[in-house]
Amino acid sequence: MMIFPAVDILGGQCVQLVQGRRETATSYGTPLENARKWLDAGADALHVINLDG
């Protein structure tokens, strides 16, 4: 089984939304910072979701 960390990007920042609502966005840094974090944790790939369209 392969597990891919999902990274949601909104306005150039990695975010987590509550029930998909943009007004609830919590930022978790830049995409590059998050990609490095996941690579350091052993991820082979990422599932990147561009919420800007």
Q: What's the token pair of residue 35?
A: 């990609």
Q: Is 33 exposed, middle or buried (0-12, 13-18, 19+ CB in 10 A)?
A: exposed
28/9 Cα distance (integer angstroms): 10
Every domain of the chain and the residues it spans: 6-50
Tens of pLDDT, residue by residue, the chain (53 residues): 999 999 999 999 999 999 999 999 999 999 999 999 999 999 999 999 999 98
pLDDT at 53: 86
Name the one residue in this structure whose structure tokens are 């830049």. 30
